[in-house]
Amino acid sequence: MPEHSHAGRHAPGVSSCGAARPALDDIDRRLINELQGGFPLVARPYEAVARTLGVDEAELLARLRRLLDAGVLSRFGPMFQIERAGGAFCLAAMAVPDAYWERVLAQVNSHDEVAHNYRREHRLNMWFVLATETPAGIADCARRIEAATGVAVHLFPKEREYFVGMRLEAR
């Protein structure tokens, strides 16, 4: 599969916080709000969805491509929960001294297992998600980060998830 035909190779960069907000029309908003799940497993799914939005298949594909390119959508496709396949996710946090911030950040981000990483205002100032194919991989990756940085990695495994009803709405 050539790269350009994939939805979602245009993941937003590391500093989209202050980016200008792209203009969305009503069809874009409906597409975003109504298509966060339930994409059909039929031969021509885009055509089926386009009909419900009142556009044709080619226009829906063009809009999806534009929303992905603009970073409004970070991806279009299946959202996997890899822990259901024996893999694991785990939230982790570190208290990184300012003087070592860049060095620790580069070290942490160099691990493929680090899926998301956010800076937060707290003594624990670096919060990231580890995603590994086996539960043992979490502790193993945390130990490797600790060994390389000399900073403790605190693990916050999910003990229970509470039902969340609403998804983010384009408004």
Partner 1 sequence: MNASTSKLISAGPLLDETDRRLIRATQGGLPLVPQPYLAIAEQLGIGEAEVAARLAAMLENGLIRRIGAVPNHYALGYTANGMSVWDVDDEVVDAAGERIGALACVTHCYRRPRHRPHWPYNLFAMVHGGSREEVRRHVADILLLLMRDFTGRLRGHEVLFSTAILKKTGLRLRD
- Please list every residue from 13 through 52 that binds partner 1, using CB under 8 A: 14-17, 19, 21-22, 31-32, 35-39, 41-47
User: Which residues lie below 8 Å from residue 114, measured CB to CB, with a gap of 6+?
Assistant: 108, 128, 129, 130, 141
- 54 vs 65 by CB, closer to partner 1: 65
The nearest distance, CB 4 to partner 1, in angstroms, is 9
Q: Which residues pair with 88 in a beta bridge?
A: 132
Binding characters for partner 1, 131-160, by CB under 8 A (x = yes): x-x-xx-xx--xx--x-----xxxxxxxxx
Q: CA-CA distance, 96 to 100, in Å (whole number)?
A: 7
- 19 vs 100 by CB, closer to partner 1: 19
- 54 vs 86 by CB, closer to partner 1: 86
What's the longest Cα–Cα distance across the chain? 57
SS3 for 127-153 is EEEEEECCHHHHHHHHHHHHHHHCCCC
Residue choice 27, 53, 55, 124 for contact with partner 1 (CB under 8 A): 124
| Element of type H or E holding 92 | strand 88-94
Residue 11 binds partner 1, judged by CB under 8 A: yes
User: What are the b/e assignments for 119-147, b being 16+ CB within 10 Å?
Assistant: eeeeeebbbbebbbeeeebbeebbeebee
The nearest distance, CB 123 to partner 1, in angstroms, is 7
- 86 vs 97 by CB, closer to partner 1: 86
- 26 vs 163 by CB, closer to partner 1: 163
Residue 163 binds partner 1, judged by CB under 8 A: yes
The nearest distance, CB 26 to partner 1, in angstroms, is 15
